Structure 1
Amino acid sequence: MLSKIRKNLRAFSIPLWIVAASFVGTIFLVWGRGSFSGPSGSQVATVNGQPITLAEFNREYKTVEDELRRKLGDNFNKLVKPNDIKRIALQRLVQRALLIELAKEEGLKVSDWAVAKAIEEMPIFQENGKFSVKLYKAFLRAQGLTPQAFEETVRKDLLVQKVLTVVNHAPSVTQAELTELYKKSFGQRKIGYKVFTADQFNPKVSEEEVEQFYKKHKEQFTKEAGEEVYLLSFENTPQGKERAKEAYELAKKGELEKLKAFNPKPAPEKLAKELQKRPFIFRSENGRLILAFKLKKSETVPLEKVKAQIEEQLKEEKALELALKAAKSFNGTLQSGNFTPQTFVQTFKPLDVQQVDRLFVSTPAGRRVIMPLEKGYGVFEPEGPLTAGKIDENKLNAVKLLVLNAKAQSDLNYLLTLLEQKASVKVNPQLFKSGE
């Protein structure tokens, strides 16, 4: 069947531009005939009846968590939830189980010698360039594994590698595909251009325009200026209790600004000290219900202090509008130059890189395009076809490697999809009940 896989994967090869545009691995599995009602106890899931144990899952969970922490750094806790890690860990384990099953069906085996050699060559067990039994035993103790269990894990990993070797050798790229992608990545095109920058214009800004902007955008000129502490006091009557409850609910939700509608008074100093470590206080005191809370105080910077700043901003906006107007009305002669996409970006600093791609790849010669730049607008017109020019072998090899890797990933995803479609994957219903 492995030979058939190679043949089928070659037949499946998709157009190069699709591969290049979608060089992204899968994130979550679509579970074939799988179900979220399945095994329980120490089994996290079963794949065609074969269990994924809790111990296996916990090790994979830790691996995924460590990888994401390294990639995301300080953003890890903001972007990743426990269930996200669970899904990725489960995906990897299910895919691994499917590939191991495929290897066994094909009669692939890994010898004891190959397992021993793989373990001996692992960097984690090396000491002074040699395999250390001491480090090996310490690792097994730390992981709670027997030598037999760890060796079986290594054996399965080597089986997966054998299947992946077949897949990774299946992709190929034609010279036509390679030349086309090289041309799109590093080719040159003759392009006419005329640039209108904001500093070419000197618009006037009136006092009235400055004042209107200040009034309309006053929040831009408001800054924090400490905190103010307020007090609400309610009579201990049915009506007073109802009002107190309404205020308390707002405070509990953190909607403290809305408490201003209750006409609070400045709180005494002792309450201000109590509020240093909490946002509000609600209690009964001297026969009344009191609610003390604090709000951030803000102040607006006077117009005179920000007048020059506003004027400069409005001048820049008007200058950009004039630059756009000039670009739209320009029908004169353009300067010409030969550019690659990289040199074009370096020269003109466009805001939309995708627009650059369209200019080089799909805009026909003779059609003018207006493009926003960092400091203005440009009029651009392709004057000839996109050409590869003199091919740099190092760049060509880099493009080839990129394409082959992309196709190998695409082929692997396709193979896994085929395996998933006929697989029965059942997941422990308790796995995702918490962790969102």
Structure 2
Amino acid sequence: MLQDIRENAQGTIAKIIIGLLIVSLSIWGMDAIIGGFSGEPEVATVNGEDITEREFLRLVQMESQRRLSRMENPDPSLLNEDQIRKDVLESLIQQRVLIQDADSQGLALTDADIDALITQMPQFQVEGQFNRDRFVSTVRNLGMGVAEFREAMRKQYVVNQIRAGIVQSGVAANENVSQLLRIQNQTRDFRVVTVPESAVADQVEITEDEVQAFYDENSSAFKQPEQVDAAYITLSLGALAESIEISEDELQAYYEARADDLAREERRAAHILIEDGEDADQTMATLQQKLADGTPFADLAKEYSIDTVSAEEGGDLGYAGRGVYNEAFEEALFA
């Protein structure tokens, strides 16, 4: 059998098959090599410039978080993911077109301009002064690096300049301009003659019938709002309580009757919820350091917590008994 295989391998058909295999593998290998250098996958191309999938997904996540924060009771299941993706993609395409137009007009910001804008933004300031730690942590919470944030600001500022120029511009026909100028240049001359009542009072006689007729026609002008003369007594629970004495025996009996309802243990908690990821440890270290430095917990919750509802209350979750939170949180809370 080995001899037959050796003889068949030297035949023409075997050589053709081997040649086809070599060509196929070569094409597959070149495609893999070219694909390896093609960079990140793109979701759209605007005038030859790609919008990467990474940029698109990051903005989709940010837009989802923004819409959740505007809900009275945030619920991710209420978000229309398809509509969010569509809106974000359209926004990215419009932004890329405006950026390309700005580049063609030579509009750009220097690094010094970007630094000036960042240092003046109130969300990066502590007691009216720019704070680099707050700047870095805020940018990281947005899922961006410092360089990436600076570049995004550079593009957005230029785009806003172009949009403002378009919104504030206008076109008027020559006839409209001429008509407006004619109206603006018009003048009016007038005179006023004042006739006092005393000058004509002796010449006018008014009968009782005329007075009655005028009153009947304008009776609503002589009406006054309806009025009520009222007296009231205020019943105050506090005032009643001062006149009642409760003995210790009565209090003990009331407690024993409701012991089951009053025996439920509750704890009040506050938290700062952060996203899990590669920056989580750094964010935790920053929070612990700021707490050690004396920064109020409530202030840190408003700045860092992604739980937007409790963040407005300084992270306060209120009172809760067992079985409300997950097991790990509950064990720490009741320990």
Q: Which has the higher contact order (CA 8 A, sep 6+)?
A: 1
Flag whether TM exceeds 0.5 (same fold). no
Q: TM-score range by the shorter chain?
A: 0.3 to 0.5
**Bigger share in strand:** 1
Larger Rg: 2
TM-score by length of 1: 0.28
More helix by share: 2
